[in-house]
A and B are shown apart, each in its own frame.
Chain A
Amino acid sequence: MRILICQVGKPLPSTPEVIVAMQPSLEEFETEVRAFLQAYPEKRARGGNDFLWGAGDDKVALFDEIEPKAELEHIAAVRQWRGSLADANLSWITGPLEFGGRDLPRRYQRLLDTMSRDYEVPDSAKLTVSMGMVAPTILAHGQQSAKEKYLRAIFAADLIGCQLFSEPGAGSDLAGVRTHAVQFGDSWRVTGQKVWTSGAHFSDIGLLLCRTADGPRHRNLTVFVIDMHAAGVDVRPLRQMTGGAAFNEVFLEDVVVSDADRLGSVHDGWRVALTTLLNERAAIGGAGMGGSGLLSSKRLLAMLRHFGVDQDPLIRQQFGRLMVGLRSAQASRYRAEAKIRAGKAPGPELSLSKLALAQNLQRLSDLVAQILGPKLAVDTDEWGAYSWSTFVLGVPGYRIGGGTDEILRNIIAERVLGLPRELTESAGGSV
């Protein structure tokens, strides 16, 4: 058995051979995870991964919109779960040893995820922005002190992060942000307004894109990590068309930020923001969907049979098209992941994944509407019927958030296919 001798604070081995030698084998890792899981949460009651019509909650929502009190309880449970993962050195499997990671390949993370599914562990979907977007940006661009201060804490969920990018006047044209920061010695003072901020109301830190000088738009932006509990930060819930409030408006007035929490160089924030956006599209387009089982074929098959439309030729066509869309997008992701494993960086191809997901959600929305008929519009107290209305009302948001369909098509055309940019006053082009 290989022994993991590397501990936090101890000198790191210098040669790759030594690091490889310290990695547990997948079997050893499995034993480690099993021991951890047996000690911590309860085994999941449900049998296997079969979907049983009528059993459990019939909620189907794209945006997590639980009641504020229940949400607080959920966040507390997530923090506790992540904390115990961190105590067991399992919170950041693929991260660098130096900042609390295990420096193991992605397949170890997948194994942990798969094994955890058999236990009653809280869903970490609310931490997608924090762990999937804020953390990679800090890792790529943060100063040493910021990496030490934030990364371990983010994966332990001692700190939860949100993304403060969009503004009322800067949506698709993100380089047009007007929130500005002015330097005073070792600190900066920030004033402005952000919008569409998922999870700001339970976040501890925010990844802020703001203007640090006038002049060419893409060259005078800077990114900071700000304290969401600091004086001058005002978070107000924003109610979206589904009726819930997963987003917020964030008002910033003279908020003090330390220069140590600046990511990347001054005025180089556009490059930093691109890291975040690339990770955002990967996170949204990824297979996860928060483990909600929304796109599960078993659920859909059970639904078709329950409502007696499984022999309807038109429904079968729509079902076939949806499954082809989902499975071929999944194959495309397998290919992109294999490319990354082979040492090639994720590129703008990830935009394809997000565009495909938006299309597939639209197809699913149309299919469930076809299946349910009037039961989509009127609550008949039937399990698994009207609950889809929240989903159907959420789909338009997926074509807008995380890069609109149109912006993504620009990116694909310009970055992947090399087509010429639109002629505009902006030199920066599409992100």
Chain B
Amino acid sequence: MTVSNQPMQSVDLIFSADQEEFGAGVRRLLDSHSKSADIRRVIETASGHDAELWRRLVAQTGVAEIGIAEQYGGAGASLTDVVVVCAEMGRSLACTPFFATTILAASALIAADDAAAQADLLPSLAAGEVTATFWPGAIGGMAASAASETVRAEAAGDGWQLSGTANFVIDGATAELLVVAASVDQSVALFVVDTRFPDVWATVRRQPRAVMDATRRVAGVDFGQTPGRLIGEVAFGAQYVGAAMNRVVTALAAEQAAGAERCLEQAVAYVKDRFQFGRPVGSFQAVKHRCADILLEVDAASAAAQYAAWTADNRVEEFPLAAAIAAEAATEAYLFASRECLHLHGGIGFTWEHDSHLYFRRARATAALFGDGSYYRELVAQRFGL
């Protein structure tokens, strides 16, 4: 690892009119079809997904095509596009297969750079026809410390078979395609398990877990000599996972920053209206200074996410560093904003009826699953060459 150089060219950190328009279209749809009442209905269901909403999003906005190259039926391989959409999804907490399919699984397939696998699988992901997910294993950001049980792969005939347990798989109970990082001897390789085939399906045991954040489901998945398709090369699995996770955490950072921004909007609206001592509580400095501090973190986090996407799209060497920086900033900003905005609502914020706890849960669960601030601070130090 070397000290990454910052870009020499001018950094034009601005969304295009097309991107703004795309984001606005997604927001309009979510505003009318993924209201608080809709989310509360969906989180009580077994799947945890709003199938009707997903169908609408795919058909009317094309969110499933985002970040996928045009040759595979996508809207183009721009991570900045991804950041725009993830922000809208993060604001609304919409319960759909988007994150697991379009962010997690697609990122793994893109990172593995296996043309045949991409041609076979990405078009159906981009069309929103198939749901998928990605389990990065014990390496990568997700639950690095908790993922003690890993999946192993062995050559079997012409192909490979997977055995073992993948804990903490996002949408693990529902996703049709499972992209899995499994150990092969001393190295790691990526495999696709396609549970649409009955003989594959029969070897996979999925255990949906009770989760703190019901808007994003997690399952444990047991593989028992499950047929898997190798993607990319065996020796490079760890690199694929690393590259995929850089994309994932950048997307996630945009989602977290936008969730944090939504918390702030709700809190600001509340403290303007709430009167105590004969004045709006938002006129007290103790309250308004807290709001200013939240904005400071939210602004830095969303800018850092946008910048990380910019470095990826402009092939700037420091993308992995920028991704880790965005992840740290956004993880901390979301924890801070969701906690403090809940608090600014007073007793109302502690009720089940108020949405504050949905964001608090998302912020806390995301940090727990994908790495908290200290994890990313260490990663930043490493990526500076320490």
Chain A residues in the interface with B (C-beta under 8 A) = 107, 110, 297-298, 301, 304, 310-311, 313, 316-317, 319-321, 323-325, 327-329, 331-332, 334-335, 337-339, 341-342, 349, 352, 355-356, 359, 406, 408-410, 412-414, 416-423
Contacts and interface: CB of A to CB of B under 8 A. Distances in A.
Contacts of A335: 13-14, 303, 306
Interface stretch (B203-211, B225-233, B242-250, B371-379): B371-379
B170 to A, nearest CB: 25
B187 to A, nearest CB: 27
B129 interface: no
Contacts of B289: 406, 409-410, 413
Nearest to B322: A327
Closest 8 CB pairs of A and B: A320-B377, A413-B288, A331-B307, A328-B300, A331-B303, A338-B14, A409-B292, A412-B292
Interface string B1-27: 001000000111110000000000000
B271 A355 contact: no
Contacts of B282: 413, 419-420
Contacts of A419: 268, 271-272, 280, 282-283, 287-288, 291
Contact of A406 (B10, B285, B300): B285
Contact of A341 (B12, B279, B378): B12
Interface string B329-355: 100000000000000000000000000
Contact of A332 (B268, B300, B378): B300
B263 to A, nearest CB: 13
Interface string B236-277: 000000000000000000000000000010001001100000
B300 A331 contact: yes
B301 interface: yes
Contacts of B380: 319-320, 323-324
A418 B12 CA distance: 28
B306 A412 contact: no
Contacts of B3: 297-298, 301
A51 to B, nearest CB: 10
B279 A423 contact: yes
Interface of B: 3, 10-14, 264, 268, 271-272, 279-280, 282-283, 285, 287-289, 291-293, 295-296, 299-301, 303-304, 306-307, 322, 325-326, 328-329, 373-374, 376-381, 384-386
A417 B292 contact: yes
Nearest to B300: A328
14 contacts: A297-B384, A301-B384, A316-B386, A319-B381, A323-B325, A324-B304, A324-B377, A328-B325, A331-B13, A334-B307, A406-B285, A413-B292, A419-B280, A419-B288
A351 to B, nearest CB: 9
B38 to A, nearest CB: 28
B47 to A, nearest CB: 36
Contacts of A316: 377-378, 381, 386
A356 B296 contact: yes
B204 to A, nearest CB: 38
Contact of A355 (B12, B285, B296, B381): B296
Given A301-B3, A328-B304, 10 more contacts: A297-B3, A327-B322, A331-B304, A409-B293, A413-B289, A417-B291, A419-B280, A420-B282, A420-B283, A421-B283
Contacts of A301: 3, 384-386
Contacts of A421: 283
Contacts of A328: 300-301, 303-304, 307, 325-326, 329
B300 A338 contact: no
A334 B11 contact: yes
Contacts of A310: 386
B279 A420 contact: yes
A323 B385 CA distance: 13
B374 A418 contact: no
B247 to A, nearest CB: 18
Contacts of A331: 13, 300, 303-304, 306-307
A331 B300 CA distance: 7
B291 A413 contact: yes
Contacts of A107: 10
Given A301-B3, A410-B288, A323 B384 contact: yes
B120 to A, nearest CB: 37
B283 A320 contact: no
A179 B291 CA distance: 35
B357 to A, nearest CB: 23
Contacts of A423: 279, 283
Contacts of B304: 324, 327-328, 331-332
A276 to B, nearest CB: 22
**Residue in B13, B292, B326 with the greatest tally of chain A CB atoms within 10 Å:** B292
Contacts of A324: 304, 325, 328-329, 376-377, 380
A21 B14 CA distance: 26
**Residue in A316, A320, A338, A349 with the greatest tally of chain B CB atoms within 10 Å:** A320
